[in-house]
């Protein structure tokens, strides 16, 4: 089935005229019809628009388009509901944006379109990317294709589930504290969080501006590399994007990994780490060693403070960013007797419980008398955490950890305990705090029930090529990424 193909497999068939882009797009739409009433990955999609884009791609192919210049030509790509696509709704999984329609394309969308991708569908997410399970969506909970009684992870749960269920060839998500890597691990797909500044955030609705990054979900590592080469690079509309040369990440794959040094942080082997997850990650390390990599124990001494630091900085920035949603210019509006009442009623009706919780927490740590004690101190600890990683990368090429402490948990299992939910991201938040890159790749399954386990490879700033090379070598020597969930 065409919807089960990777980007490389599909573009190969398209180039040889063994199938058409319209057939590939229709295969994805048919799969959505078959399975999405159970998975609930999509908030919506425009089938007619998607097929029109596919028709244009077929014409370009017939006219002799160069796949080297347009490496995603005819490839259906769906996007998280936090990215602006011109003429399409953007709700961020929230009621407060109402019937807002984006008037412009995010930079990553512009670049995907220029590369020939068919952009279709809005994928479900935790409201404003605040959550680890997609249960915080204002609309419905996305479910894990491997077990529909369980969550797919979050906040990019729809993006991960859509790839795992073969509803799209690839998807885009955003990662503020693990929101690409964590759901990728729980759904058994590849998810890459780029270095902060590697990919433009223009057109990404902000959660925490110093932490957010956009990245791909894909069926294998090569596809992630192809998308990364397309979406990366300097953008003058994003003052935090970095003028760093963009390599051809896919070309860097292959070859041996002999001599590459892996760091195993002793602080990550914590209580609460599921024994099956630990066993799968240990086995993955041994496999990388068989392939020629060298492993050594390292220390990241400020690891214990990463989650606390994150949950001060992220809510503080969210408090500032979400102040714009006030019912005045766009989105939901609940009238009041005066502006203050209008603001209160609009935000009270429009935001969900988790968003309100984080806004309140963020406002508190930024308030007079508490700024120095909380926010300023968190920024100082953030510097120490980043220094830990930079020091470690003087000794090793990549740091290897579990992506998540457990496999996917049941829907509702942690809904009443926000702290337990926050700890789902305990292995991923540090990379965002430090601004480094990371990738999650499938590395095994739990026994009963059969649920995916993810291996996380962290890299130095702008070290995506190294972690992609390691991930690809591991992936090609194992078969975990070829496993499919038990869907009809």
DSSP sequence for 68-97: TTSTTTT-EEEEETTB--TTSB--TT-STT
Whether pLDDT at 269 is above 90: no
Please, are residues 385 and 434 in contact by the beta-carbon 8 Å criterion? yes
Work out the number of other CB atoms within 10 angstroms of the CB of residue 66: 10
Angle between helix 47-62 and 21-39 (nearest 10): 150
Please, are residues 154 and 182 in contact by the beta-carbon 8 Å criterion? yes
**In this predicted structure, what is the pLDDT of residue 428?**
97
- CB-neighbour burial class of residue 210 (10 A; exposed 0-12, middle 13-18, buried 19+): middle
Q: Which of 21, 123, 1 is nearest to 76 (CA)?
A: 21
Mean of all residue pLDDT scores within the chain: 96
Average pLDDT rounded to a whole number, residues 116-131: 98
Looking at the DSSP assignment, which residues form a beta bridge with residue 263?
A: 296, 399
Catalytic residue (choose from 40, 80, 113, 460): 80
Q: Which of 326, 317, 331 is nearest to 344 (CA)?
A: 326
Note down the domain range covering 453.
2-263+393-482
179 in catalytic set: yes
CA–CA distance, 46 with 270 (Å, rounded to integer): 45
Contacts of 179 (CB under 8 A, 6+ apart): 126, 129, 132, 154, 155, 156, 173
CA–CA distance, 446 with 299 (Å, rounded to integer): 28
Is residue 153 included in any domain, yes or no?
yes
Is residue 354 included in any domain, yes or no?
no
Please, are residues 247 and 233 in contact by the beta-carbon 8 Å criterion? no
pLDDT digits (tens, 9 = 90+) for 5-28: 999 999 999 999 999 999 999 999
Is residue 377 included in any domain, yes or no?
no
Whether pLDDT at 166 is above 80: yes
CA–CA distance, 302 with 373 (Å, rounded to integer): 18
229: enclosing H helix or E strand:
helix 221-231
- CB-neighbour burial class of residue 388 (10 A; exposed 0-12, middle 13-18, buried 19+): buried
Is residue 277 included in any domain, yes or no?
no
Is residue 50 included in any domain, yes or no?
yes
CA–CA distance, 306 with 20 (Å, rounded to integer): 48
Average pLDDT rounded to a whole number, residues 329-340: 94
- CB-neighbour burial class of residue 1 (10 A; exposed 0-12, middle 13-18, buried 19+): exposed
Residue 423: pLDDT band (50, 70, 90) is: confident
Work out the number of other CB atoms within 10 angstroms of the CB of residue 33: 11
Average pLDDT rounded to a whole number, residues 427-439: 98
Please, are residues 56 and 22 in contact by the beta-carbon 8 Å criterion? no
**In this predicted structure, what is the pLDDT of residue 383?**
98
94 in catalytic set: no
Does residue 379 have a cis bond before it (omega within 30 degrees)? Answer: no
Work out the number of other CB atoms within 10 angstroms of the CB of residue 268: 19
Is residue 445 included in any domain, yes or no?
yes
Contacts of 438 (CB under 8 A, 6+ apart): 181, 192, 193, 428, 431, 456, 457, 458, 459, 467
Does residue 155 have a cis bond before it (omega within 30 degrees)? Answer: yes
Between vectors from CA 57 to CA 52 and to CA 59, what angle results, nearest 5°?
A: 95
pLDDT digits (tens, 9 = 90+) for 454-465: 999 999 999 999
Kindly state the DSSP code that residue 437 receives in the 8-state scheme.
Answer: E
Is residue 342 included in any domain, yes or no?
no
**In this predicted structure, what is the pLDDT of residue 224?**
98
Q: By three-state DSSP, how is residue 454 classified?
A: strand
414 in catalytic set: no
Work out the number of other CB atoms within 10 angstroms of the CB of residue 134: 33
The share of the chain scoring above pLDDT 70, in percent, equals 100
- CATH code where residue 89 lies: 3.90.1300.10
Average pLDDT rounded to a whole number, residues 444-462: 97
CA–CA distance, 205 with 100 (Å, rounded to integer): 13
**In this predicted structure, what is the pLDDT of residue 420?**
77
Average pLDDT rounded to a whole number, residues 261-273: 89
Whether pLDDT at 109 is above 90: yes
Q: Is the dihedral angle over the CA atoms 468, 73, 129, 102 positive or is it negative?
A: positive
Catalytic residue (choose from 94, 132, 137, 179): 179
Is residue 358 included in any domain, yes or no?
no
Structure token digits, residue 183 = 């759901």
Please, are residues 397 and 260 in contact by the beta-carbon 8 Å criterion? yes
Please, are residues 265 and 227 in contact by the beta-carbon 8 Å criterion? no
**In this predicted structure, what is the pLDDT of residue 424?**
78
Q: How many domains does the chain have?
A: 1
Work out the number of other CB atoms within 10 angstroms of the CB of residue 301: 14
Q: Which of 134, 136, 127 is nearest to 148 (CA)?
A: 134
**In this predicted structure, what is the pLDDT of residue 270?**
73
| CA R_g for the chain | 21
Q: Which of 93, 73, 74 is nearest to 82 (CA)?
A: 93
Chain centroid offset of residue 155 CA: 8
Catalytic residue (choose from 20, 132, 155, 440): 155
Average pLDDT rounded to a whole number, residues 31-60: 98
Q: Which residue has the tokens 């790749």?
A: 441
């Amino acid at each position: 089935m065409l919807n089960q193909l990777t980007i490389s497999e599909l573009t190969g068939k398209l180039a040889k005229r063994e199938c058409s882009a319209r057939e590939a797009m229709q295969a994805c739409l048919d799969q959505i019809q078959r399975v999405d009433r159970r998975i609930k990955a999509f908030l919506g999609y425009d089938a007619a628009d998607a097929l029109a884009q596919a028709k244009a791609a077929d014409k370009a192919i017939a006219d002799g388009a160069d796949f080297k210049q347009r490496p995603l030509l005819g490839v259906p790509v769906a996007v998280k509901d936090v990215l602006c696509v011109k003429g399409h709704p953007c709700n961020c999984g929230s009621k407060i944006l109402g019937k807002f329609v984006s008037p412009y394309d995010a930079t990553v969308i512009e670049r995907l379109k220029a590369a020939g991708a068919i952009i279709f569908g809005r994928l479900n997410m935790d409201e404003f990317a605040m959550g680890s399970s997609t249960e915080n969506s204002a609309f419905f909970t996305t479910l894990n294709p491997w077990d529909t009684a369980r969550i797919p992870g979050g906040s990019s749960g729809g993006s991960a589930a859509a790839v795992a269920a073969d509803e799209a060839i690839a998807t885009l998500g955003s990662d503020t504290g693990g929101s690409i890597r964590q759901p990728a691990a729980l759904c058994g797909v590849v998810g890459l969080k780029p270095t902060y500044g590697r990919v433009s955030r223009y057109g990404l609705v902000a959660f925490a501006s110093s932490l957010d990054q956009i990245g791909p979900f894909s069926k294998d590592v090569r596809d992630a590399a192809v998308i990364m080469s397309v979406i990366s690079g300097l953008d003058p509309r994003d003052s935090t994007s970095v003028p760093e040369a963009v390599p051809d990440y896919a070309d860097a794959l292959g070859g041996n990994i002999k001599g590459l040094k892996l760091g195993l942080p002793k602080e990550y082997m914590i209580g609460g780490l599921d024994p099956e997850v630990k066993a799968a990650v240990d086995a993955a390390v041994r496999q990388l060693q068989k392939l020629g990599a060298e492993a050594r124990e390292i220390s990241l001494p400020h690891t214990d403070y990463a989650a606390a630091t994150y949950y001060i900085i992220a809510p503080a920035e969210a408090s500032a960013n979400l102040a714009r949603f006030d019912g005045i210019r766009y989105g939901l509006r609940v009238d009041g007797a005066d502006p203050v009442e209008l603001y209160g009623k609009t935000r009270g009706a429009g935001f969900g419980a988790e968003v309100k919780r984080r806004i309140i927490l963020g406002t508190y740590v930024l308030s007079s008398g508490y700024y120095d004690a909380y926010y300023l101190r968190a920024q100082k600890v953030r510097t120490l955490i980043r220094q830990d990683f930079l020091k470690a990368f003087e000794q090793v090429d990549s740091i290897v950890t579990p992506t998540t402490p457990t496999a996917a948990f049941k829907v509702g299992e942690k809904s009443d305990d926000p702290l337990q939910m926050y700890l789902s991201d305990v292995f991923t938040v540090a990379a965002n705090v430090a601004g480094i890159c990371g990738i999650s790749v499938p590395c095994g399954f739990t026994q009963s029930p059969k649920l995916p386990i993810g291996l996380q490879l962290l890299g130095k700033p702008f070290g995506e090529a190294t972690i992609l090379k390691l991930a690809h070598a591991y992936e090609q020597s194992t078969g975990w990424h070829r496993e499919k969930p038990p869907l009809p």
